[in-house]
Chains A and B, each alone.
Chain A
Amino acid sequence: MFDSITLGQYYQTDSALHRLDPRVKLVGTFAYLIALFVVDSWVGYLLVALFLAAMIRLSNVPFRYIVRGMKTILFLLLITVCFNLFLTPGEVIWQFGFLKMSREGLSFAIKMALRLSLLILGSSIMTLTTTPTQLTDALESLMRPLKKIHVPVHEISMMMSIALRFIPILMEETDKIMKAQIARGADFESRNLVKKIKSLVPLLVPLFISAFRRANDLAMAMEARCYRGGEGRTKMKPLVYQGRDRVAYGVLLLYFAACIATRVIF
């Protein structure tokens, strides 16, 4: 049941996007997200969608694999669409009982759905083409100025990368515990909300215990391998900007400017 989650999962292949410096991808993702909220016209959305399509093409990750990650937010998407559809005041074009659909609501709902989908797809492109280690390296490098005000930059990035590494393991574990509880008569299918919440207790307690045990083991394993924080550490894959990264920054700047232009013009 947890196979469908691709968010935060690296897809192993070789592509232009994979080879890009993770800092570029991180900055790029931010630029993409900001641009997504800057654009407001259909032309703007088209531009974002085209950019995304180009990125997906460049990433060499099968489209079906990316879309699988969307399943998890389908429910959220549906709710947002419904709310926007029926709760936006304006010129009524369709009515059923107390439900009123307005023209403004319709366009708003479609835009919202587009925005959310583009947002999820865009950010999963980054996590699919960047290993968590690269990602946290990039974060560490970009946040380095914060070290001066005593922000534990290295520790934060290490914690994040470990958290990401353990997501699939804990997912698998949840699945296992769930099956073990089902085998002993636990009911996770119940539609009754109270029962549903109650059924989570025998799932979460063992999960937490096991997570703590894993954390303990991992800490010991890290210590055994001489881990002692960021001081005096070298990097196996230090981040160095290449020619292609500069080109990528250029493309990003163009894209960002174009997005702002659509906002101004349309």
Chain B
Amino acid sequence: MSMIKIQKLIHDYIKRDDEGNAAGTVRAIDGVNLEVKPGQFIAVLGHNGSGKSTLAKHLNALLFPTEGTVWVDGMDTKDGANLWEIRREAGMVFQNPDNQIIAQVVEEDVGFGPENIGVPTEEIWKRVEESLKAVGMLEHRKKSPNRLSGGQKQRVSIAGVIAMEPKCIILDEPTAMLDPNGRKEVIKAAMKLNREKGITVILITHYMEEAIDADLIFVMDKGEIAMQGTPREIFSQVKRMKELQLDVPQVTLLAYELRKAGLHLPASILTKEELVDALLGSEPGNSETPESREQKSDASGEPDTEADKKEEEAGNGNQG
């Protein structure tokens, strides 16, 4: 069975004029079909206004389809009886870390979700401890969230979600307001949950570097899925990505420009190591071991300051 299945999803926002009367609609999602299998790490890319956040809210039953159907673990989101079970199974982490932490102490915030779904007290404590451990925040459990860094706050938010023992976590641009270090922390935590606990992760982002290790990438544009495939398939199409107003990882772009300049390089270079190997004339590693993936994520996570600045600006524009 698929973790998430979306069929012909359409979502219209109602536009209102100054008096609050409905004055037409804006189509945010236009006929999306997709399927996510349990345990997958999915990245959804797209520029601002491409409908990716709207899509995310459908997966948690925060929005309901105008047309079409969304199934989360076989449950139809339109069916009110499934609502709370869907929200428990598909946890959601939002963009702004300050606006999703409810309690004044880290561990109480992590306990908020389990309290809501009526977990017995001792079990809550166990879950809080496990969740904080899973994101590496156990030593901060007694602290006030106001004293944490952005990356730490987001990791607390993730802990708050996994304390409800979800099968799937949706991260809606969790790193858009963070500095490069915070971004790395959060993505690493999400990755770890995916690898070690087998939780399905759907990461919505506009940082290409974060999508490199995904099993599958969906690229959204104008409410539709414009491209889908493995990171290698997606990022090798540099021109198409530029058309969709998206960047490709720095290294991929460099390889692309070098190839255009006449160098003989493969089209699907994603990491520094691969580029170095290719430039030195050796075969880029096609057969991947977990270790090589691990190293890869470390290397590719290294931020390029120039690109970061650009992306930061794009991120700021998106907060509205």
Which stretch from A20-28, A175-183, A190-198, A216-224 is at the chain B interface?
A216-224
List 17 A-B residue pairs with CB atoms under 8 Å apart, sorted by A's residue number.
A10-B105, A10-B144, A131-B104, A133-B105, A161-B102, A162-B102, A165-B102, A217-B100, A221-B94, A224-B87, A224-B94, A228-B84, A228-B116, A236-B111, A236-B124, A236-B128, A237-B108
Show the binding face of B for A, using Cβ within 8 Å: 60, 62, 84, 87-88, 91-92, 94, 96, 98-105, 107-108, 111-121, 124-125, 128, 142-144, 146, 160-161, 164
> With an 8 A cutoff between CB atoms, is A242 at the interface?
no
Q: Contact between B116 and A236 (Cβ–Cβ < 8 Å)? A: no
Q: Considering residues B62, B88, B116, B119, which has the most beta carbons from chain A within 10 angstroms of its beta carbon?
A: B116
> Interface size for chain A: under 10, 10 to 19, 20 to 34, or 35 or more residues?
20 to 34
Contacting pair A169 B146 (CB below 8 A): yes
CB contacts under 8 Å to B, within A150-185, are 161-162, 164-165, 168-169
Q: Is the CB of A236 within 8 A of B108?
A: yes
CB-based contact A226/B124 at 8 Å: no
- Which of these, B99, B103, B111, B121, contacts A161 with CB under 8 Å? B103
Are B112 and A225 closer than 8 Å at their CB atoms? yes
The 10 A-B residue pairs with the shortest CB-CB distance in the complex, in nearest-first order? A236-B111, A221-B100, A217-B99, A226-B116, A225-B113, A224-B92, A236-B124, A232-B118, A132-B104, A227-B116
Does A234 contact B121, Cβ atoms closer than 8 Å?
Answer: yes
With both chains docked as a complex, state the minimum distance between the C-beta of B129 and any C-beta of chain A, in angstroms: 11
Contacts of B108 in A (CB 8 A): 131, 133, 236-237
In A118-168, which residues have CB < 8 Å from any B CB? Answer: 131-133, 161-162, 164-165, 168
Q: How far is the CA of A217 from the CA of B100 in the complex (A)?
A: 7
A225 near B96 with CB under 8 A, answer: no
- Contacting residues, chain A, for B88 (C-beta < 8 A): 226
Which residue of chain A is the closest to B84 with respect to CB atoms?
Answer: A226
A235 on interface, CB distance cutoff 8 Å: yes
What residues of A have a CB within 8 angstroms of the CB of B128 in the complex? Answer: 236
- B317 CB to closest chain A CB (Å) equals 15
Contact B121 A236 (CB under 8 A): yes
Task: Give, as a whole number of angstroms, the nearest-CB distance from A171 to chain B.
Answer: 10
Instruction: Using CB atoms, name the residue of chain A closest to B319.
Output: A213
Chain A residue numbers with a CB within 8 Å of B113 are 225-226
Closest to B128 in A: A236
- What string of 1s and 0s marks CB contacts (under 8 Å) between A252-264 and chain B? 0000000000000
| In the complex, residue of chain B having the shortest beta-carbon distance to the beta carbon of A11 | B144
Interface contact B121-A214, CB-CB below 8 Å: no
Taking the nearest CB of chain B, how far is it from the CB of A32, in angstroms?
23
Chain A residues near B143 (CB-CB < 8 A): 12
Chain B residue at minimal CB-CB distance from A132: B104
